[in-house]
Amino acid sequence: MCDLGPGHVPQRGPRPLLVACRYYDLGASGAQDARRLQADAGVAAGAGGAWAIRLHGRDKLKVNAVVRGACLLVREDGGEPLKLTEGDVVVSDGRQPYVLCGELGVDPLNSRDVTVDPATRTAQLGEGEDVVCISGHIDLSRDSGELLRRALPELVHVGADAAEAPMLRRLTGQPADEVRTRRAGGEFAADQLARLMFVQVLRVCLTDAAGLPPGWLCALADERLAPALRLMHGDPGHPWRLEEPARAAAMSRTSFAVRFKEAAGVPPLTYLLDWRMSMAARALRQFTVPVAALARSVGYTSESAFSNAFKRAVGVAPRRYRETAGN
């Protein structure tokens, strides 16, 4: 679990050159849109007495904010209960279910069994409103969301005094407001809110790389590795040699390779291959760019070489992948 406070985010690097494929790269001024993220309409829940609810957001980041009172978060894979107080925010990556409750020992309701008023987007748990929570989701089921999920801790706890907590609380409740008020452009606004929520989550995680699993976000949080990572992201079609990103990191090739693998979980050029294939898969799903042109944009001089590499990474050839995706 990641339990974080405020921190600084490095300045972002060059813009990506890959046609039709954009990536996340956080900087002091914000983030580039990597995915078509969607937000589900949030829910406000009042709870009192003996109550408990099991939450499991498959293919979704689930954000919960405590607006009033206090409750416990119990992870079903073990560990001590986490006490949440007014103003706290937690973000789950959806891999493991967890329970929110007023006290231990109460059999939890499954979230799908809780009745939500469609007009007000509110629900009632137990009796009374000693505790009020708001929740929201960020949909990761589209566009290779697993790449995003793998970079995050399973659970992020943002204390009420953290710099990002007030913004996350506001953003979490906004999708429900859009649904409830039925204002023009509500669906579009909810999608933008999902992006903002995700940016805030990434900013929180970047404040303490020690709490991150190995992956691109952990590497980006390393001030020495970040310039090299941005360099490769900025031009994935370039025929990179190890000494080039190592030079950007002001390190020897050996030191760079060791440090990069520790942070990202894989060697630099393996990471680059995985990144290229992820970008290519997204382009095949969403755009009609010819496979030959796509191959060149991710660094392959021939369509056949790209097709072989893609099939090894994904399991099917590019054209078959596009057909299966419905493009």
Tell me how far apart the alpha carbons of residues 311 and 308 are, in angstroms, rounded to a whole number: 5
Residue 7 is predicted with a pLDDT of 36
Average of pLDDT values for 290-299? 94
Would the pLDDT of 147 be above 70?
A: no
Q: Which of 57-61, 105-109, 244-248 has the highest mean pLDDT?
A: 244-248
Would the pLDDT of 23 be above 60?
A: no
71-90: pLDDT as tens digits? 999 988 778 899 999 888 88
- % of the chain beyond a pLDDT of 70: 78
Question: 47-51, 224-228, 288-292, 298-302: which range is least confident on average?
Answer: 47-51
State pTM to two decimals: 0.66
Tell me how far apart the alpha carbons of residues 232 and 225 are, in angstroms, rounded to a whole number: 11
Would the pLDDT of 258 be above 90?
A: yes
Give the closest residue to 304 by CA, choosing from 241, 233, 271, 312.
312
pLDDT range class, residue 140, cuts 50, 70, 90: low
With beta carbons less than 8 A apart as the criterion, state whether 134 and 121 touch. no
Residue 321 is predicted with a pLDDT of 92
Tell me how far apart the alpha carbons of residues 146 and 175 are, in angstroms, rounded to a whole number: 23
Would the pLDDT of 206 be above 60?
A: yes
Higher-pLDDT residue of 306, 326 = 306
What 3-state DSSP class applies to 64? strand
DSSP designation for 120: T
Tell me how far apart the alpha carbons of residues 233 and 272 are, in angstroms, rounded to a whole number: 8
Tell me how far apart the alpha carbons of residues 298 and 286 are, in angstroms, rounded to a whole number: 16
- % of the chain beyond a pLDDT of 90: 31
Average of pLDDT values for 138-152? 64
Higher-pLDDT residue of 132, 227 = 227
Strands 155-158 and 122-126: unpaired
Tell me how far apart the alpha carbons of residues 267 and 56 are, in angstroms, rounded to a whole number: 33
Tell me how far apart the alpha carbons of residues 218 and 210 are, in angstroms, rounded to a whole number: 8
